[in-house]
Amino acid sequence: MNNEELLAAILDCVEYGKVNKESPYPLAMKGRDGADELTRDALAKGVPPADILNEALIKAMDRVGQKFSEKKIFVPQMLVSAKAKNSALAHLKPYFSSGEVKRKGRFIIGTVSGDLHDIGKNLVSMIVEGAGWEVIDLGVDVSSRKFGESLIKYPDAVVGLSALLTTTMVNMKTITRELKNINPFVKVIIGGAPVSDAFRADAGADGYARDPQGAVVFLNSLTKQK
Amino acid sequence: MAVKRESIVKALGVPHNEADDYLIQLIDEMIARCMEICNPQAAVSVFDKPVFNKDAGEMVIDGTIFSLNKMVTSALAKSTSVAFFTGTCGEETGQYSKKLLKEGHTLEGLIADLIGSEIAEGVADYIHKKVESDIALEGMKATNRYSPGYCNWPVNDQQKLFRLIGENNCGIRLTESSLMLPIKSVSGVIGLGRNVIKRGYACAWCDAEHCLYRDKKNDRDPMAV
């Protein structure tokens, strides 16, 4: 395969969720190399890592996100695609560290203080990373102080707050206020089952995402504004 | 107690006819695995002579005032006793879910998490049916079950419920924010009496905007983060 064909093949693998040769899914691609092997091969053949990220991985996840928004695919397919993307991304990590490959931006995310739910946050982290962002995941039960310290360390980051309880979602107000005290220009996005856009306005946050794709749309809209 | 494949498919947000063979097989395998490792427990504490103040939306048990809100108070008001219950799936499925997520098996981890939720709900169903069948022998009936955090019953009342039931709590502990640990746990109250009625959940008339389970018949969004 030439470079273009390799990139197209990697894109297909991520779009359809073909992680590696062993993966039984999808049936139509059984026995073929997956995103893992093809990315390794592409790098060995000198395909620029930035091309792999931008022309294959991000494009594939854009398509996945679009199909999900249009209800052409559902959560399981999205997650398998993300897994395929991660298998490719693992090969690119050294190039991020060296600065050869650039991310779209930084995204700090955490579940707010008093709350230990993390599965939704973890799904957002994964999907946002697949969309080309560097994710700094602070974990669960994250205080406003810890969010603040992270923002001071990464002043250009967008911050995402997750909560799953009515008792803890109220902490989003305090955290948002304190983040904006540190940096009035910081963008804050919130999410969580009890959260709504109306609550976003009340909390003083800039965005609300009902699902991980909503978070990606919000983040990408910020890069377009620059 | 069994977890139905269809409930997991639905919880994943997949329409009934869109679940492919791969997903069905994966869910079946995960259900079997989680049922092997889970450690479900249930406990019930019955308290007699609850006092209800419908106007204030309150129930008083042994001097403890529960701020149920008017709708729940009205649903329980004819009870001559109440059964506080706790139930849990245990820590094991949650730990298994986390392990899978850490290893990059995100879909499997999410499925395990959803199965844990279904097991916990199954424990609540079991408790409810057991209470109903036990009291039927005495000519008594049971109301629907209500839990702090739902139907506009403030989740902070979880603290009062757990203080009242003492050690009879399946080993569930509460955080300061009233989160139950293990996370896949349930708690609530069932009204008991000869003249009670088992009402459906009146979501259409409830102003609890932030209730996670507004109209239980509606599909839950699994990706609501």
The single-letter DSSP state of residue B167 is T
Who among A76, A195, A215 is closest to B107 (CB)? A76
**Mean pLDDT on B46-73:** 94
Question: Do B225 and A165 make contact, defined as CB atoms within 8 angstroms?
Answer: no
Q: What is the pLDDT of residue B224?
A: 45
Angle subtended by helix axes A75-98 and A35-44, to nearest 10: 20
pLDDT digits (tens, 9 = 90+) for B138-171: 999 999 999 998 887 888 899 999 999 999 999 9
Whole-number Å distance between alpha carbons of A153 and A166: 30
C-alpha dist (Å) from residue B213 to A143, B76, B165, B217, B218:
27, 20, 25, 9, 8
- Tokens 């360390």 sit on residue: A153
Domain containing B85: what range?
A: 38-89+120-205
Q: CA A134, A5, B105, B101: dihedral to nearest 10 degrees?
A: 0
Q: Is residue B26 part of a domain?
A: no
Query: Is B176 part of the contact surface with chain A (CB cutoff 8 Å)?
Result: yes
Does residue B201 register a pLDDT over 80?
A: no
How confident is residue B38, by pLDDT bands cut at 50, 70 and 90? very high
Query: Is B22 part of the contact surface with chain A (CB cutoff 8 Å)?
Result: yes
Q: What is the pLDDT of residue B205?
A: 61
pLDDT digits (tens, 9 = 90+) for B77-88: 999 999 999 999
- B153 closest CA partner among A167, A181, A37: A167
Q: How many domains does chain B have?
A: 1
Average per-residue pLDDT for chain B: 89
Please report residues of B whose CB lies closer than 8 A to that of A36: none
Q: What is the pLDDT of residue A127?
A: 86
Residue B33: burial class (beta carbons within 10 Å; 0-12, 13-18, 19+): middle
Does residue B219 register a pLDDT over 60?
A: no
Q: What is the pLDDT of residue B81?
A: 97
Q: What is the pLDDT of residue B213?
A: 56
Question: Do B210 and A166 make contact, defined as CB atoms within 8 angstroms?
Answer: yes
Number of neighbouring beta carbons within 10 Å of residue B165: 19
Question: Do B175 and A124 make contact, defined as CB atoms within 8 angstroms?
Answer: no
Does residue B92 register a pLDDT over 60?
A: yes
Query: Is B13 part of the contact surface with chain A (CB cutoff 8 Å)?
Result: yes
Does residue B216 register a pLDDT over 50?
A: no
Query: Is B107 part of the contact surface with chain A (CB cutoff 8 Å)?
Result: yes
Question: Do A120 and B104 make contact, defined as CB atoms within 8 angstroms?
Answer: no
Query: CATH number of the domain that B194 lies in?
Result: 3.40.109.40
Does residue A164 register a pLDDT over 90?
A: no
Q: Is residue B139 part of a domain?
A: yes
List the single residue in A with minimal CA-CA distance to B220. Answer: A193
List the single residue in A with minimal CA-CA distance to B158. Answer: A167
Q: What is the pLDDT of residue B212?
A: 54
Residue B48: burial class (beta carbons within 10 Å; 0-12, 13-18, 19+): exposed
Mind telling me how many Å the CA of B57 is from chain A's nearest CA? 20
Q: Is residue B65 part of a domain?
A: yes
Structure tokens of B135? 């009291």
Angle subtended by helix axes A119-130 and B106-136, to nearest 10: 160
pLDDT digits (tens, 9 = 90+) for A72-130: 999 899 999 999 999 999 999 888 878 778 889 999 999 999 888 888 898 899 889 88
Q: Is residue B141 part of a domain?
A: yes
Q: Which residues contact A17 (CB under 8 A, 6 or more apart)?
A: A23, A25, A26, A77, A80, A81, A83, A84
Q: What is the pLDDT of residue B177?
A: 87
Does residue B211 register a pLDDT over 70?
A: no
ipTM of the complex: 0.86
Does residue A202 register a pLDDT over 50?
A: yes
Please report residues of B whose CB lies closer than 8 A to that of A126: 106
C-alpha dist (Å) from residue B201 to A67, A202, B135, B161, B218:
35, 28, 22, 21, 12
**Mean pLDDT on A130-135:** 90
Q: Is residue B222 part of a domain?
A: no
Who among B15, B176, B209 is closest to A114 (CB)? B176
Please report residues of A whose CB lies closer than 8 A to that of B23: 76
Q: What is the pLDDT of residue A97?
A: 79
- A113 closest CA partner among A142, A74, A135, A133: A142
Does residue B218 register a pLDDT over 50?
A: no
How confident is residue B225, by pLDDT bands cut at 50, 70 and 90? very low
Q: Is residue B78 part of a domain?
A: yes
Please report residues of B whose CB lies closer than 8 A to that of A119: 97, 101, 109-110, 113
Query: B61: which strand partners?
Result: B64
Compute the count of residue pairs across chains A and B with CB atoms less than 8 Å apart: 108
Q: Which residues contact A154 (CB under 8 A, 6 or more apart)?
A: A106, A108, A136
**Mean pLDDT on A10-30:** 95
Number of neighbouring beta carbons within 10 Å of residue B221: 13
Mind telling me how many Å the CA of B136 is from chain A's nearest CA? 36
Domains plus CATH for chain A? 3-98 (1.10.1240.10), 106-225 (3.40.50.280)
Q: Which residue, among A36, A71, A79, would best test binding to B if mutated, counting the most B CBs under 10 Å from its CB?
A: A79
The single-letter DSSP state of residue A142 is B
C-alpha dist (Å) from residue A26 to A8, A19, A20, A77:
17, 9, 11, 10
Q: First-to-last CA distance in chain B?
A: 28
Question: Do B106 and A210 make contact, defined as CB atoms within 8 angstroms?
Answer: no
Query: Is B204 part of the contact surface with chain A (CB cutoff 8 Å)?
Result: no
Q: Report the largest interatomic distance among the alpha carbons of chain B, rounded to a whole angstrom.
A: 56
Query: Is B216 part of the contact surface with chain A (CB cutoff 8 Å)?
Result: no
Q: Which residues contact A30 (CB under 8 A, 6 or more apart)?
A: A24
Q: What is the pLDDT of residue A96?
A: 82
pLDDT digits (tens, 9 = 90+) for B98-128: 999 889 898 999 999 999 999 999 999 999 9
Q: What is the pLDDT of residue B207?
A: 58
Q: What is the pLDDT of residue B210?
A: 53
Question: Do A86 and B104 make contact, defined as CB atoms within 8 angstroms?
Answer: yes
Mind telling me how many Å the CA of A61 is from chain B's nearest CA? 16
State the alpha helices, DSSP H only, in chain B: 5-11, 21-37, 70-76, 92-102, 106-136, 157-165
Q: Which residues contact B6 (CB under 8 A, 6 or more apart)?
A: B16
Share of chain A above pLDDT 70, in %: 99
Q: What is the pLDDT of residue A200?
A: 95
The single-letter DSSP state of residue A57 is I
Query: Is B206 part of the contact surface with chain A (CB cutoff 8 Å)?
Result: no
List the single residue in A with minimal CA-CA distance to B12. Answer: A75
Q: Is residue B102 part of a domain?
A: no
How confident is residue A225, by pLDDT bands cut at 50, 70 and 90? low
Q: What is the helix (H) or strand (E) element at residue B144, kind and residue range?
A: strand B141-146
Q: Is residue B77 part of a domain?
A: yes
Question: Do B225 and A123 make contact, defined as CB atoms within 8 angstroms?
Answer: yes
Average per-residue pLDDT for chain A: 92
Q: What is the pLDDT of residue B155?
A: 86
Number of neighbouring beta carbons within 10 Å of residue B113: 26
